[in-house]
Chain A
C-alpha cells in the first residue's frame, strides 16, 4: 500500500512565526507529501507564509476554533479521497520526525487512529501541574471507558485512516475541544486506537487552549460531553446523519 494518498493537516491560527519552520521540517522529514494548512481566520501573515511554502491553503474568513479547522481539513481530505491524514500543530510543538512512525503504524497495524503520546516514553517534556492533574483525570476516564491505557488524551498529534476522517466530517464531531470525548466517541463507534510515543516541545509562542479562564469551560465541557456521549445511542462507523 505504498501508493496510498497521504495528507499532513495543519490547523493554524496566527502562527506566522513558527509555521514556516514546521513546513520546512515536514518536507525534510516526510519527503514529498501533500500538506494542507487550514488557516483559521488568522490576522497575521500565516496564510502568506503557507502559500510561500507552496502548500495547499484553505482559509476561513474568520476564526472558527481548533476543532472546526481540523474538521475543514477532514472534509477536504474526504472530498479528495485521502487514505491517511496526519495532523500536526503549527506551533512547532510536535516533532515532525514522527510522521513516518504514524504512517507506519496505520499501514502495518490493525489500527484506525494513532495518537502521539508525549508520556509513553520519558522525552523530557515538562508538564505544568494543573495540566498534569487534568491529564490524570481525563486520561483515567478515557482509559476506563476505552479499556486501554490512554496517557495523553489532549494530544493533537494524531493520524487517522479515511474511514475515521469520513466519520469526523459529520455533525457528531465535537468541534471546540476534541480531546477525551472524541477518543470515547471513536471507541464507542468501534474504531481501534493506539498511542505511539512521540517527542513534543513546549509551545512557547502559542497560547494553549487549556490555559487561563478557558480551562474552567474546558473542564465543564469535557465532563458534560463525556457523559452525553456515553448516554447517546452508540454511533455507527458508517453513521449517516
Chain B
C-alpha cells in the first residue's frame, strides 16, 4: 500500500469514528450519519482492496487510482448536498407553517387576555 493508500485508510477510519462519536453524543441524528458512514466504509475498502480499485478504475475509464477515489468522493458530495437541500426545503416549509400558526395563536391569546 502506498502513502496515499495509508492516508485514505486513516482518513476513512477517523471519519467513521468521528461520525459514530457525533451520534453517541446526540450531535448527529442516526438518519444523517448513514451516508457518512457508508462513504467512510467505501473509502476504507477501496483503499485496502487494490484489485477492486483497479477494476473500478478500468470500468469508468480512469487513468489512475487516486482520481477514482476523488471521482466517487465528488459524486458523494453532490448527492449528500442535494439531499440536504431537499431536507432544508422541507424544514423551511415546516418552520414557516409553525411560525404562521404560532403567530396567529399568540395574537388571539393576547386579545383574549385583554378582554
- In the complex, B103 has a CB within 8 A of chain A: yes
Q: What number of A-B contacts does a CB cutoff of 8 Å give?
A: 35
Closest beta carbon of chain A to B94's beta carbon, Å: 10
Tell me whether A75 and B107 are in contact (CB under 8 A). Answer: no
- In the complex, A119 has a CB within 8 A of chain B: no
Measured in the bound complex, the distance between the Cα atoms of B101 and A38 in whole Å is: 12
Tell me whether B107 and A59 are in contact (CB under 8 A). Answer: yes
Q: How many residues of B contact A (CB 8 A)?
A: 11
Measured in the bound complex, the distance between the Cα atoms of B94 and A177 in whole Å is: 18
Q: Chain B 58-77, CB within 8 Å of chain A: the 1/0 string? A: 00000000000000000000
B83 to chain A: which residues have CB within 8 Å? none
CB under 8 Å from chain A, chain B span 66-115: 93, 96, 99-104, 106-107, 111
Pick the residue among A56, A61, A76, A79 that contacts B99 (CB under 8 A): A61
B107 to chain A: which residues have CB within 8 Å? 56-59
Nearest-neighbor residue (CB-CB) of B110 within chain A:
A57
Closest beta carbon of chain B to A217's beta carbon, Å: 15
Q: Could you give 22 example pairs across A and B, Cβ below 8 Å?
A: A56-B107, A56-B111, A57-B107, A58-B103, A58-B104, A58-B107, A59-B103, A59-B107, A60-B99, A60-B100, A61-B102, A64-B96, A64-B99, A68-B100, A72-B100, A72-B103, A72-B104, A75-B100, A75-B101, A75-B104, A171-B93, A175-B96
Which B residues have a C-beta under 8 Å from some C-beta of A?
93, 96, 99-104, 106-107, 111
